[in-house]
Amino acid sequence: MEQQRKTILSGMQPSGELSIGHIAGALRNWVTLQHDFDSLFCVVDQHAITVQQEPAKLRKWTLDLVAMYQAAGVDPSKSVVFVQSHVPEHVQLAWILTCLTGMGECSRMTQFKDKSERHSDNINVGLFTYPILMAADILIYNADLVPVGEDQKQHLELARNLAERFNHRYSPTFTVPEPYIPKVGGRIMSLQEPTKKMSKSDPNMKASIFLTDSDDDIRNKIRRAVTDSGSDIRYDEQVRPGISNLMSLYHIATDKTFADIEAEFAGSTGYAPFKEAVGEAVAAYVRPIRERFLELRADEDSLRAIAKAGAEQARHRAWKVLRKVYKKTGFIEL
């Protein structure tokens, strides 16, 4: 008898163009994991509106992500690709989980504090309860594994707590999810401030390598990347954050180990030859993703069809879980 595959769920916000950090930290892992797991990959447009968005841009970026997931290698015939707002069961479960969550639990979330500082003119309740909706995203599919970055580990811990709390209060219903933390290359830093994570929302366009950048854009950004004092190519995040970040990019683009990279450029005088090699390697790595994205993005009808088919599969699964939750909570069945 074939063993049932474990379920994995992850998603990204449609709030701007994706950077190479999204490939390193998420998409590469998704592509690998989809072969071994029952995989659901979501465009979390409802999370995106905790920060003010232009409606036209939000619609564009949502379809951009459906295309970019595929351009990076996510296969809709192997994985469920869908848009969060197309599956209302997420917010239906979120309300029940909200009623199980303490005020203190949400107020302790560091991301709420950070975003409140950055968007002080729009500290809304959605921003406060964002982690509860994220918990619902995960629990509605009984996900076993959730690929998360360091900045989301606290949110996943809340999801685990809520699953255990519901199971204890009513009866075993939810799988308690485990984090999947990517290995080396999962965290790419800003090219202009290498102690800060690369971000699609960075106002300095030279700080990020976007997956839609041209070859020349990529080469020029890496040529102008901030480096450290000295001239040797050596990996040390604390002492040499600039060079270590460029080495991470070279590692992603070539799969060479840091030891191999150090040996390749041993005795190099100055950083220029290393930067040229990194620029060429990263441009070659991004090129097929960009070209495939542009090809897919041109066929909007196909993207909508993929999102629709994914939503139908997701809703079928989500409703089965929500029915159990409603019954256990005490709601009369519709």
How far apart CA 331 and CA 261 sit, in angstroms, is: 60
198 within some domain: no
pLDDT at 150 over 90: no
**94 with 75, same domain?**
yes
Work out the average pLDDT over 276-284: 96
Q: Return the higher-pLDDT residue of 238 and 311.
A: 311
Band of pLDDT at residue 160, cut at 50, 70 and 90: very high
**Domain of 245: which CATH number?**
1.10.240.10
| pLDDT tens figures, 85-129 | 999 999 999 999 999 999 988 888 777 667 666 666 777 888 889
Write phi, then psi, for 233 (nearest 5 degrees).
Answer: -95, 100
Return the pLDDT at 153: 81
**Parallel, antiparallel, or unpaired: how do β-strands 145-147 and 79-83 relate?**
unpaired
**260 with 312, same domain?**
no
Q: Which of 181-185, 295-299, 320-324, 330-334 has the lowest mean pLDDT?
A: 181-185
**311 with 285, same domain?**
no
**254 with 154, same domain?**
no
Half-sphere exposure of 87 (CA within 13 A, CB side): 37
| pLDDT tens figures, 233-269 | 889 888 889 999 999 999 999 999 999 999 999 887 7
How far apart CA 56 and CA 157 sit, in angstroms, is: 34
132 within some domain: yes
197 within some domain: no
Q: What percent of the chain has pLDDT over 90?
A: 70
Work out the average pLDDT over 303-332: 97
| pLDDT tens figures, 167-219 | 999 999 999 999 887 654 467 899 999 888 888 778 888 899 999 999 999 99
166 close to 174: Cβ distance less than 8 angstroms: yes
Which residues on adjacent β-strands are paired with residue 81?
41
Mean of the per-residue pLDDT values of the chain: 91
Q: Which residues form the catalytic set?
A: 115, 197, 200
**Would you give the distance in Å from CA 189 to the centre of its chain?**
15
**20 with 163, same domain?**
yes
**209 with 160, same domain?**
no
Return the pLDDT at 192: 93
**167 with 254, same domain?**
no
Q: Which of 54-63, 71-80, 125-134 has the lowest mean pLDDT?
A: 125-134
Return the pLDDT at 76: 97
Structural domain boundaries enclosing 243: 205-294
**240 with 117, same domain?**
no
- Total tally of structural domains belonging to the chain: 2
| Cβ neighbours for 327, distance < 8 A, ≥ 6 positions apart | 333
Work out the average pLDDT over 284-307: 97
Return the pLDDT at 23: 87
129 within some domain: yes
**171 with 89, same domain?**
yes
191 within some domain: no
Q: What percent of the chain has pLDDT over 70?
A: 95
**124 with 244, same domain?**
no
**Domain of 71: which CATH number?**
3.40.50.620
